[in-house]
Chains A and B, each alone.
Chain A
Amino acid sequence: GENVEQHPSTLSVQEGDSAVIKCTYSDSASNYFPWYKQELGKGPQLIIDIRSNVGEKKDQRIAVTLNKTAKHFSLHITETQPEDSAVYFCAAMHGSSNTGKLIFGQGTTLQVKP
């Protein structure tokens, strides 16, 4: 079945530095790639998403890049702040799904040190 691999599992950066999280997916028919942020005791919250017809998307300090050939996509957070500390999940929409089923990565725990 489809698989999404996410790296690193933990990431610690100094406030103001950049953070990069990478994901690879196995289903070449996947066409939608959201990123979710999950704080302790909360449900995941969408922070940015990208569709397969776009190579890059940016929203203020957050950007996502997609390489369809390599089946690889990445989240970039610039000028990190302590409130960015959370668990981040990448996901890919199952290519043959007509119901919006998402396959999630294992998560990256980001710690931003003040």
Chain B
Amino acid sequence: DSGVTQTPKHLITATGQRVTLRCSPRSGDLSVYWYQQSLDQGLQFLIQYYNGEERAKGNILERFSAQQFPDLHSELNLSSLELGDSALYFCASSVAPDRNNSPLHFGNGTRLTVT
């Protein structure tokens, strides 16, 4: 068990809708990362937060947004959903983002299906 909790495990929704994915990091970890995993794109970095502040942005669409709350949990909001947004969304956490030798701890992901 990585200690990272993601909810829900599965989401099925229609095109044009909006969903929220939730993540609780491992105890003691201050940094949260969001990744998207799909068959054609592999594992793509979306966005990172550290202690409530955005620290790095990757290939995140403008329709997507995220935040990290004072209790360190994070939410990823996906809006105006398209079929191509169907993927597995992972949250990961680490102690600090400025250490390049720290491994990430991943949750089990949220599988999003857009119909």
Q: Do A and B come from one complex?
A: no
